[in-house]
Amino acid sequence: MIETALQDLWYGFGVALEPHNLMYCFLGVLVGNLVGVLPGMGPVATISILLPLTFGMPPVPAILMLSGVYYGAQYGGAICSILLNLPCHPPHAVTCLDGFPMTQQGKGGTALGITIIAAFVGASFGITEMIFLAPFLVSVALKFGPAEVCSLMLVGLLAGSTLAKGSPLKGIAMTVFGLLIGIVGTDIETGEARFTFGITELYDGVEIIALALGMFGIAEFMNSINNTEAVDMKYAKVGIADMFPSKADLKKAFFPMIRGTLLGSLCALIPGTGPTIASFVSYATEKKISKTPERFGRGAIEGVACPEASTHSSVQGDFIPTMSLGIPGDTVMALLLGALIIHGIVPGPQLISQHADIFWGLIASFWIGNILLVILNVPMIGIWVKLLSIPYRYLYPSAMFFVCIGVYAANNDMFQVGETLVIGVVGYILLRLDFHPAPILLGFVLGPRFEENFRRSLLISRGDLMTFIDRPISAFFLLICVVLIVAQIYVWLRKPKFVEQERAIEAQLPASPYSELTG
């Protein structure tokens, strides 16, 4: 099995190293790194803006580029946390706790250096995990019928909505809301128009780009306008020479890095627990097992290495369920799944065999992209740091223009711009009511496939709902759903200690002028 995997990987490098693909991979990680550094911009909005521009491209470079934005943004995100104490990217929020004190002690460069090493170690492990695990998952998933697919999607939707931050009830409500938005348009089986209210443009359904940019673009700008303070660049002076950690620092950071990597890759496998949760869990674990927990929060290098390694290994691992099962774990993955569908690729277990060039090319491009990012970040750190000082008042109007033209370019239709505007206002209202919009996108992307498989499985069983329980794999997935719900009720009623601990860590974080959306 290892031999075939290595052979496939070799083939993947052939795909990823084609000049055209390599260029788009580089472009993706460059743009990703850029938006990662800029406070108030995030990968979700960026990928949505770039998505319509990839319509004319073949699918392989398009997917390589869009994925590159995601993991590239993770490299940039840490810079903001460590140098400015601004948790503008949720997966890196926890890095503020020890990264910024290190900066204040004049060791900001070391923190950044350790971050890059941790990132590379974490990402490498995540990619290796994907190489071996994804084909295995596929061999299991190929046995799935519509009932199993349905139950599996239910697990994905439930986990995505309850394990994310915020109230689980509201998360589930947002998932259902997303499923309902996914219904808008023409019914695939009967051709009846649903929830279109006579608007012809809605017959094709709500545009995924409009939904993502409304919720994660316009709503976000409405939330943070005149709400941001000028960034304090007092400590943000880092040169290349400062970035190489000393031997003692490396020694201290080594085991936390390994632990973070393992925790992160574990979190990636559970649907719904993305990099943000991985970084929190690993920080809490590292603090707990440390012999000197009092150093945490005062510039402990372990407090930087562990969550960063964890974030990156989780980011790469996140692709596993998306690519092998077609079930996205978070917003960015939902968006990438949408991108695959737009490019005419049916996500699911058959993806690896039918589109081997995309799958193995993507994996190979992860390695290449991560190496490019290390190269980009070490010598160019000065430029990234300078970018931090771009004020928000220049950023958001430019971003608004990109939102408008991005949505327009999707269909060359001004109606979509108006649609985005309406979704943005709705998104802001939901945000003010403490709803997190991430599950909406998850529900929206999975909705049509969920309905199709739900109908099909009940058609096969002649309307017998027991089919979901009679089939053992499906029953197992439903059991996971029950466990998820029971666990949530338990947490709500008993408020166990580990939840309180996580709350305590969250309370220590500096307030962010940006909402959670940019993650």
Partner 1 sequence: MTLTSRFVIKRDYYAGGLMLLIGVGCAVVGSGYHFGTLARMGPGFLPVVLGIVLAFLGILIAGTALASSEPDEAHFLPDNPQWFGWLCILGGPVLFIILGKLGGMIPAIFACVFVCALGDKTATLKSSAILAFGMTVFGVLLFHYLLNVPFPLLRGVNL
Residue (269 or 409) nearer to partner 1, CB: 409
In angstroms, the CA 391 to CA 397 distance is: 11
Q: Which is nearer to partner 1, 125 or 454 (CB)?
A: 454
Whole-angstrom Cα distance, residue 219 to residue 396?
12
Shortest Å, Cβ 178 to partner 1 = 10
Number of residues that bind partner 1 (CB under 8 A): 60
Any idea how long the chain is? 519
* Listed residue (317, 251, 310) closest to 283, CA to CA: 310
Of residues 239 and 391, the one with the C-beta less far from partner 1: 391
Q: Does 189 bind partner 1 (CB under 8 A)?
A: yes
The binder of partner 1 chosen from 390, 405, 491, 509 (CB under 8 A): 405
- What minimum distance in Å lies between the beta carbon of 471 and partner 1? 17
CB of 504 to partner 1, least distance (A): 17
Contact 434, 427 (CB under 8 A): no
Among 375, 414, 483, 504, binds partner 1 (CB under 8 A): 414
**506 binds partner 1, rule: CB under 8 A:** no
Subset of residues 460 to 489 that bind partner 1, contact rule: CB under 8 A: 461-465
169 is an interface residue for partner 1 by CB under 8 A: yes
**Choices 284-292, 380-388, 413-421, 506-514; region in contact with partner 1 by CB under 8 A:** 413-421
Interface positions, 218-247, toward partner 1 (CB under 8 A): 218, 221-222, 225-227
Alpha helices (H) along 142-194: 146-162, 168-183
Report how far residue 476's alpha carbon sits from residue 53's, in angstroms, rounded to the nearest whole number: 41
φ/ψ of residue 344, rounded to 5: 80, 20
Residue whose CB is less far from partner 1, 295 or 456: 456
Task: Decide: 209 and 48 in contact? Cβ < 8 Å.
Answer: yes
Q: Which is nearer to partner 1, 57 or 345 (CB)?
A: 57
Query: Which CA distances in Å does 111 have to 256, 307, 394, 462?
Result: 14, 12, 29, 61
Cβ at position 161, least distance to partner 1 in Å: 10
Nearer to partner 1, 196 or 290 (CB): 196
Q: Please name the residue that has the structure tokens 């970035």.
A: 243
In angstroms, rounded to a whole number, what is the distance separating the alpha carbons of residues 156 and 133?
Answer: 18
Give the burial string for 411-437 (b: 16+ CB within 10 Å, else e).
Answer: beeebbbebbbebbebbbebbeeebbb
- Which CB sits closer to partner 1, 213 or 362? 213
Around Cβ 229, how many Cβ atoms within 10 Å?
A: 8
What DSSP state is assigned to residue 17? T
Interface residue with partner 1, options 293, 418, 496, 510 (CB under 8 A): 418
Q: Which residues bind partner 1 (CB under 8 A)?
A: 53, 167, 169-170, 172-173, 176-177, 179-180, 183, 187, 189-190, 192, 194-195, 218, 221-222, 225-227, 392-394, 396-398, 400-401, 403-405, 408-409, 412, 414, 417-418, 420-421, 424-425, 429, 432-435, 451, 454-455, 458-459, 461-465, 492
